[in-house]
A and B are shown apart, each in its own frame.
Chain A
Amino acid sequence: MHGWMGKMLRVDLSTRSTKIEDIDEEILHLFLGGRGFGVYLVYTEVTPDIAPLDPENILAFCAGAMTGIGVPTGGRASMSTLSPLTGTIFDSNSGSQFGVRLKWAGYDALVVSGRADSPVWLEINTEGAQIHPADHLWGLEIPSAVEQLKARNSAVVSIGPAGENRVLFSSIADESGRSYGRGGVGAVMGSKNLKAILATGKPRSTIADQEITDFVNYEAGKMVKASPRTSQGLPEFGTSVLVNLMNWYGVLPTNNFQIGEFEQAENISGECLRDKYLTKRGACWGCPIGCKRVTRTKNEKGEGPEFETIYALGSSLGIDDFETIIEANYLCNRLGMDTISCGATIACAMELTQRGALASELAFGRAELLLDTIQDIACRKGLGDHLAEGSKRLSVRYGLPETSMQVKGLEFPGYDPRGMQGQGLLYATSNRGACHLRGNMLGPELLGAPKMLDRHAPSGKAGILIVLQHTSAVIDSIGMCKFVNFAIGDDFFARLMTSITGYEYQVQDLQLAGERIWNLERLFNLRMGFSREDDTLPPRFLNEPLKEGGSAGHIVHLDEMLAEYYRFRGWTEAGVPTPKKIAELGLKEIVKEQSHA
């Protein structure tokens, strides 16, 4: 076998048993690895009677065929599970070196199930897995826990206090904050009493055709250098380059999406970050782009923040104190929490307070309360305990569900869909909830990549979005980063997959694999009780036009786009994949038990 390792490691923490299993090569070929293989595992092993924090739920860390191979940005891996925040299938993708070391240890996947009776950490190496007591690590913030376990030729990921306390948007991260960030995957790990995982492995080559791979790599490198986005914008500013742009377009969420333009955007912009706080640039393993920021405030140093964090802990809270935003980001990283959901949930609490539904001191613009609030959430202290459940549950608890800016329970990233119709459709249809990483329309609607579309036009968006959704599933599955897609397209992915795995992949084969992955995720969600009713947006986006800024006067025309979307997908009007579609995608055997099919 080339590209993949053909092995996976299973750990059952309840019985403290571990075993190495062979993986059917045909499954890897069909699902590509990474997110695709994770979807397959969760679909086949997590049944509807299992709750996210039950011992029976699985955590599946999956590397892709490109992970650790040496292709540009090929340092990524996925973590799939049933999310406690959304109740959907969920995969979280990270550029942490953990995926690379897992692959080098000889495994395409690590699947953890069960629950240890006391805190443990896992050691992964070529021999298999060893389970060690972790009482001394429990309660530690992530950098401290990782520091204690770090070893030569290894990578460690850990949960922080938030994951231990089962905060529903807690994350799993390495010492620098590179996270499996969204969906509460940290709470799943915490529910298993698993504090940390260390993977040890040395580089190994599994490439089918090294010469062709080198050639395609060389050409890909040329394209990365030629694109100002990958050679200048992202390296120089990181993702924070988007703050001023989104503000100019009038889609920078402000005060919990009540406004699309933040007057003080300049104070929290990429330019400001570079000029005042940046100390060093960095990159994930194997990445020639290098969007990572190493920063310093008066009191601390650390990594980030990303654009999404700046929106969630900044403009969406009406806060322009960049020092506080940066330190809030460091704090979330140390405690192990997704900054987007954390900020969006605090924004929801601020609006609940603004509207008199919640008695709290929280208010838009009150930066001085931010750090304590984050700490309270991680420790589930006072109001923090309610916030730790995410914005959907919080808004319902206080009687104003419309104040929660989420889809399927997952809080929005930093692009108001009223200025981007296709993005609105993306949010509504994403299998893991409101997410920009499932076929981002930012490229075609705002940046002109690959071509500039009319951002306010709903017509024709469904087809384009579907292609992007498939491409994003492919990138997540093969183990590369979506940013490389600014420079190289599907044809490069196909050529690399061919030269690395030895299977003949054409662009259409990869699109089909992406569609297969998307449909299996959809089928899982349907099995869990989701339906067309969940493919929607908060009423604010459907009924309340933005009053000012670059997207003033617009709402999302979802119904029109959604009908077109289902038709394009070959689903029924209820949003269910038809038996014909399931057969076309080669999923018949896998989903044979499911009544929806």
Chain B
Amino acid sequence: MPPWAAWATILACVAAAVESARPESVTAEQVQAGADIYERNCSPCHGPRMLDPQSAFNLRNFPPDQHDRFVTSVTRGKNQMPPWGDMLKPDDVEALWAYVLNGEK
């Protein structure tokens, strides 16, 4: 398989992952799992239930079409936010994304 083909496969997988995390396809379990992770690890800065994010990005305003930006920020850290990639598995980050988009609607 030439390198470009490998990349195409990877991109297709990423696209599928993005697809599966869209609001219409998330499960209640996923949102609840995200809510649990959020409450424990994220709410101290981003505010309880994403209310009063005094210090940090207001996640209720996170652009819903920027899934990859969300995943990268959580995994690698951004500004004052530490990286979480060694602690939260990809499924956890997707659950968080599901919660951010759907959890408090």
Asked if A and B are interacting partners, one says no
Which chain A residues have a beta carbon within 8 Å of chain B's beta carbons?
none
